[in-house]
Chains A and B, each alone.
Chain A
Amino acid sequence: MNRFRYERAPDIQNALQQGAAPGSAFVGGGTNLFDMMKLGIAQPDIVIDLNHAGLRYIQSTAGGGLLIGALATMADVAMFPLVQSNFPLLHQALVAGATPQLRNAATFGGNLLQRPRCFFFRERDFPCNKKIPGSGCHALFAADHSHAIFGGGQTCIAVHPSDLAVALVSLDAKIEIHNRRQAREVSLDELFVGAEPDPTRETVLEAGELIAAVEIPSSPRLRTAHYFKVPPAGGFANVSAAVSLEMDEGIVRSSRIVMGGVAHTPWRAHLAEAKLVGRPASARTWTEAATAEMSKAYGRGGNDFKIALGRTVLVRALEAAARVTP
């Protein structure tokens, strides 16, 4: 790692002041930042430790939702009794998203801001549009399990690696972003951006901004929402899906389906959702919805397998959700 100055921020205001310095970076658990720094991809001159800034909390909100400080660890949240009882999707996504050791360090906010796992991005000396726009994308010709099958474009086909992000998009979560001038609320959906026009970013966060908290509203779908990931754990998703259903006497009224491992952002499966409305819960329904969504997928050789896998993941996830949905 490069040499840097280490600072601790005693509160959010101080953190934002320090974060205004060019070449500074915030750190939570450090499980992604130090990984990136060891690879030479990130080279901050100043590292600002947020772990002592009062952002590590988990509260239930009026109405049965959750308010989670961005520096709460993944383990803090996964083991929180209310999360285990009322937010099974969140618990599943957290446990699937990292090893026990990493969960004890990695933060809830930091997990959303982790960088992609694309080989060419992570190899410092490989030209890559995400590192230097215009330098090219090797993955277009050498795609593997870490590359996208949705989203189009020839600029960057890395996938967003976070399981938690997929779950939070499906839960309609909101985040609180702070900068020195103001705090604003952004939906998880709006946090993540595609590779165009700016492939260097995965989120809307500007330099010096930080995520302070995540709010998850209560919803009737919460208790039955389910996360399905291949491989199940111990690695990054090839394909995953966060699925919840609202059913009325065996007929699907609405659904929420978000996929991971398939695009630059968590991927909302609009085509599948549309296919489900008014249909009976059945294998045929799930297959038709899955086929509709995956019909728009494109493979570039090494990631072709994700298309068939995506169909299977969607079908299995819908079956699992239907089993628990009242």
Chain B
Amino acid sequence: MVTAATEAPPLRLVINGNIHEVSVEPRVTLLDCLRDYLRLTGTKKGCDHGVCGACTVIIDGKRRVSCLTLAVMQEGAAIETIEGVAQSSGLHPLQEAFLRHDAFQCGYCTPGQIMAAIGLLREGVEPDPDKIRERLENQCRCGCYTNIVAAIADVAEQLARAK
């Protein structure tokens, strides 16, 4: 556990609709702030350089990597993490689809895959595996890509039918 040492007033971050006050140095990334200061460890650190997508969160409705932005830069933004995805009524359709399609093995990339997929579904995508693959570049070292894409296509299909 890292303790902060800064004289600045605490930062107010809005995460999954809740306000969190935290004292962090400017150099603390949003990822490290979530994990080490706020103990929201669902968001994972993969490469820490913006390449793998494991740290994907949603900021003001857009999917972004959290390892290459600072906590201080996101004061005032609406941040969504994997912790906010399930509802009190049950799992998110995408989480259910990931289970149904066996879309994870070790599970490390999975929160990032789900947040990236939620971002993609909000942008709008056809329930077509090729189109989904083009627009999802998160890495999975276990190689679950086929099932990840199938899970997302499943939900995209549900959304298309609901319209």
**Chain A residues proximal to chain B, CB less than 8 Å:** 1-6, 27, 29-31, 34-35, 37-38, 47, 49, 51, 75, 99-102, 104-105, 233-234
Contact = CB atoms under 8 A, between A and B. Distances in A.
B156 to A, nearest CB: 15
Contact of A101 (B49, B65, B70): B65
A3 B59 CA distance: 25
13 contacts: A29-B68, A29-B69, A30-B70, A31-B65, A38-B48, A47-B26, A100-B120, A101-B50, A101-B53, A101-B119, A102-B65, A105-B65, A234-B137
Contact of A49 (B29, B48, B73, B136): B73
A35 B137 contact: no
B135 interface: yes
Contact of A100 (B67, B70, B72, B116): B116
Contacts of A37: 27
A30 B68 contact: yes
B137 to A, nearest CB: 4
Given A35-B49, A100-B120, A102-B50, 17 more contacts: A30-B70, A30-B73, A34-B29, A34-B70, A38-B48, A38-B49, A49-B73, A51-B73, A100-B63, A101-B53, A101-B56, A101-B64, A101-B137, A104-B59, A105-B64, A105-B65, A105-B69
Interface string B61-104: 01111011110110000000000000000000000000000000
A260 to B, nearest CB: 19
A30 B135 CA distance: 22
Contact of B62 (A27, A34, A104): A104
A220 B24 CA distance: 52
Interface residues of B, number: 28
B69 A100 contact: no
B72 A6 contact: yes
Nearest to A35: B49
Given A5-B26, A35-B49, A100 B136 contact: yes
A197 to B, nearest CB: 31
A36 to B, nearest CB: 10
Contacts of A30: 68-70, 73
Contacts of B116: 100-101
Nearest to A232: B134
B68 to A, nearest CB: 5
Contact of A99 (B29, B53, B67, B70): B53
Which 5 A/B pairs are nearest by Cβ-Cβ distance?
A6-B26, A104-B62, A99-B137, A1-B27, A101-B65
Contacts of B70: 6, 30, 34
Contacts of B25: 3
B140 to A, nearest CB: 13
A54 to B, nearest CB: 16
A113 to B, nearest CB: 15
A31 B50 contact: yes
Contacts of B51: 99
Given A30-B69, A31-B68, A49-B73, A101 B63 contact: yes
A266 B27 CA distance: 33
A19 to B, nearest CB: 17
Nearest to B137: A99
Contacts of A47: 26
Nearest to B58: A104
Contacts of A35: 49-50, 68
A49 B72 CA distance: 10
A234 B29 CA distance: 23
Contacts of B29: 34
A51 B29 CA distance: 17
A4 B26 contact: yes
B26 A75 contact: no
Quick one: which of B67, B70, B135 has the most chain A CB within 10 A?
B70
A104 B64 contact: yes
A6 B73 CA distance: 9
A8 B70 CA distance: 13
Contacts of A34: 29, 67-70
Contacts of A234: 137
Contacts of A233: 134, 137
A29 B50 CA distance: 12
Contacts of A105: 64-65, 68-69
